[in-house]
Chain A
Amino acid sequence: MTNKKLNLKDKYRLLTRELDWEFSYADRKQAFPYEEFEGIKITDWSKWEDPFRLTMDAYWKYQAEKEKKLYAIFDAFSQNNGHLNVSDPRYVNAIKLFLTGITPLEYQAFQGFAHLGRQYGGVGARVACQMQSIDELRHVQTQIHAISQYNKYFDGFKEWTHMQDKVWYLSVPKSFFNDARSAGPFEFLIAISFSFEYVLTNLVFVPFMSGAAYNGDMATVTFGFSAQSDEARHMTLGLEVIKFLLEQHEDNLPIVQKWIDKWFWRGCRLLSIVAMMMDYMLPNKVMSWKEAWEVYFEQAGGALFKDLARYGITMPKYAELVSKEKEHISHQTWWTFYTYGQAAGFHTWIPTDEELDWFSEKYPETFDKYYRPRYEYAKQLEKEGKRFYNGTLPMLCSICQIPLLFTDMDEPDLTSHDCHHHDGDQYHFCSEGCKEIFIEEPEKYVQAWLPVHQIYQGNCGGPGLEEVLTQYYRMTMGEENLDMKGSPDEQRWKKWKGVA
């Protein structure tokens, strides 16, 4: 037996190309049944350029190193009572939203990529997806472990898996991924690897993780950085798949462009939660949502789409509209959560006077005109002991499932709305972008589990809102929900810090 040591390239070739086999007695189409129904044409899988070129043993080694460092920091964080170092207890609510809203998506990503890791006909693509699926599972675990320290000291964390399937606003991220996972394998990859990971994820991982650093949250910063090196690989996969599909066959172009348009729009709607977290939930600010959008999409994304122009790809259809909305969405979203604060699994509050001034400075075109008056009125009510809670269920968009809280960018004080008739029923949307997604595949979206409609159908306990919150959502009134002021979180914090 020779003892020749293989180099990485040879190992990789053996792992991928050489491990595959030709189908001699079985029908290849039966082995990879999902490869054709979306209309994508693959003529030659061997043209796939592997973006990672990682062998399994190298992968385990790198990841193990990262884990070792990560868990050493988690241990130190825990032993040093790291939760006491956050800038302000309000900050922890952003982490609650991260764990309940985003961590479950990592798990859905794991499931989605595991499926692709079996279903693609090309072995290079399969291996890349298998590795990404393991990455995603690692992200779920590290996020749970990073955040578990907060669960010992703050409300709002303990029922996160239960809440994911039930709570009204968590249906927004959940249905986003359900939409992608119930699509075919190529749409999933364009949706998640390209539109989300490549085009939009930087907005979660860069400014939001800096926000964690600015606010003294070492645990989140550390998992953020640990995940970031994986994200870089995932982005490479996103770009590779676009180039591969477009080089395979010219008929793929209109399909790919349609998916880019759809998933860019869906991604932007989903990111309204991140916009709100950045502007309203980080007591020490890094940059405004508007600035983040300009840096990470308008500049970086602009360059990317210029690059892709040679394949015939154009800017996502609603990019210009989103550039107008960047002036509004964080304010509109927080106002919605503030006013429905009794139904949120985290605390809400009126921004401080300094924060209101910061918004005026960062959003000179919109904040004082449209949004400051709401907070001034809320302050007045709070002073009178009548903190405002909206007790009536909102109207939801049939696609993004977000309440119709966005306004018309030509008339920013009018609610944006669109509708469509299908098979004798009416469907309503927050925007033309969401309506177009519906029209493309109505038989998919008529099945949407819209939380407000489910409550009215009696499928979420009740009949009262309080029963839905306490029994179906498993919230304890006044612990997870309601205002930050007077919350048990705030009281405990004051006790730890020795302030009255």
Chain B
Amino acid sequence: MPIQAYFDNYKGEVKDRVENFHGNQLVYVNWDQHLLFSAPFTLMVTPSLTYAEFIKEVLPTAFNQHPQWSEVNWQTASWLLDGRAFTPQMKVSLIDQGINHKSFLRLQTPELTGIANASV
């Protein structure tokens, strides 16, 4: 049952549909086992942004406070997109490689074990 409602055919207004973001979309990003950042981030991006731009221009604004950020090896780093293994194409736009509104990306760098080797 979609809702326990007093009225028949009750339909809720979707507050976060992509149209409400003025041409942008949301992408959530987590850097696994770096809990200096207590939760994943919500970022707002242009869907036509390429992955290379995303890594170079957007992600550092969120993550570069971490001392290990500059040590990330982008050749070996692995990604999960919405729970599945994902190999990004650097020159392709986010939207054209399946990174949709409210997609969740997880960056994994197992060789970087966080501050004090404690996943911080």
Evaluate whether A425 and B101 lie within 8 angstroms (CB atoms) in the complex, with A183-B4, A458-B22 already known. Answer: yes
- If over half of A's interface residues share one DSSP class (helix, strand or loop), that class is named, otherwise mixed; here it is mixed
Residue of A nearest to B32 (CB): A414
Residue of A nearest to B33 (CB): A413
Whether B10 is near chain A, meaning CB under 8 Å from some CB there, is yes
Give Cα A441–Cα B2 distance, bound, in whole angstroms.
5
Interface centre among B5, B11, B115, B120 (most CB of A within 10 A): B120
Whether B54 is near chain A, meaning CB under 8 Å from some CB there, is no
Whether A60 is near chain B, meaning CB under 8 Å from some CB there, is no
* Chain A stretch 169-205: residues in CB contact (< 8 A) with chain B: 183-184, 187
Note all chain A residues with C-beta closer than 8 A to B35.
Answer: 335, 370, 374, 407, 413, 415
Whether B72 is near chain A, meaning CB under 8 Å from some CB there, is no
Q: What does the 1/0 interface line of B6-38 toward A look like (CB < 8 Å)?
A: 100011111111001110101010101101111
Whether A404 is near chain B, meaning CB under 8 Å from some CB there, is yes
A332 touches B38 (CB 8 A): yes
Note all chain A residues with C-beta closer than 8 A to B21.
Answer: 456-457
Note all chain A residues with C-beta closer than 8 A to B62.
Answer: 391-392
Evaluate whether A417 and B5 lie within 8 angstroms (CB atoms) in the complex, with A336-B38, A453-B15 already known. Answer: no
Whether A442 is near chain B, meaning CB under 8 Å from some CB there, is yes
Measured CB to CB, the closest approach of chain A to B114, in angstroms, equals 8
* Chain B stretch 41-65: residues in CB contact (< 8 A) with chain A: 41-44, 61-62, 65
Residue of A nearest to B62 (CB): A392
Number of interchain pairs (Cβ within 8 Å): 155
Note all chain A residues with C-beta closer than 8 A to B41.
Answer: 392-395
Give Cα A419–Cα B26 distance, bound, in whole angstroms.
15
B40 touches A415 (CB 8 A): yes
A456 touches B44 (CB 8 A): yes
Taking a contact as CB atoms closer than 8 A, the residue among B4, B20, B83, B116 that contacts A184 in the complex is B4
Whether B69 is near chain A, meaning CB under 8 Å from some CB there, is no
* Chain A stretch 418-436: residues in CB contact (< 8 A) with chain B: 419, 423, 425-428
Q: How many residues of A contact B (CB 8 A)?
A: 58
Residue of B nearest to A376 (CB): B116
Note all chain B residues with C-beta closer than 8 A to A453.
Answer: 15-16, 26, 42
Measured CB to CB, the closest approach of chain B to A389, in angstroms, equals 9
Give Cα A184–Cα B40 distance, bound, in whole angstroms.
34
Residue of B nearest to A339 (CB): B38
Evaluate whether A404 and B115 lie within 8 angstroms (CB atoms) in the complex, with A423-B14, A446-B14 already known. Answer: no
* Chain A stretch 335-376: residues in CB contact (< 8 A) with chain B: 335-336, 339-340, 369-370, 373-374, 376
Whether A390 is near chain B, meaning CB under 8 Å from some CB there, is yes
Note all chain A residues with C-beta closer than 8 A to B16.
Answer: 425, 446, 448, 450, 453, 457
Whether A54 is near chain B, meaning CB under 8 Å from some CB there, is no
Q: What does the 1/0 interface line of A156-169 toward B look like (CB < 8 Å)?
A: 00000000000000
Note all chain A residues with C-beta closer than 8 A to B10.
Answer: 443
Interface residues of A (CB under 8 A from B): 33-34, 37-39, 183-184, 187, 332, 335-336, 339-340, 369-370, 373-374, 376-377, 388, 390-396, 403-405, 407, 413-415, 417, 419, 423, 425-428, 440-450, 452-454, 456-458
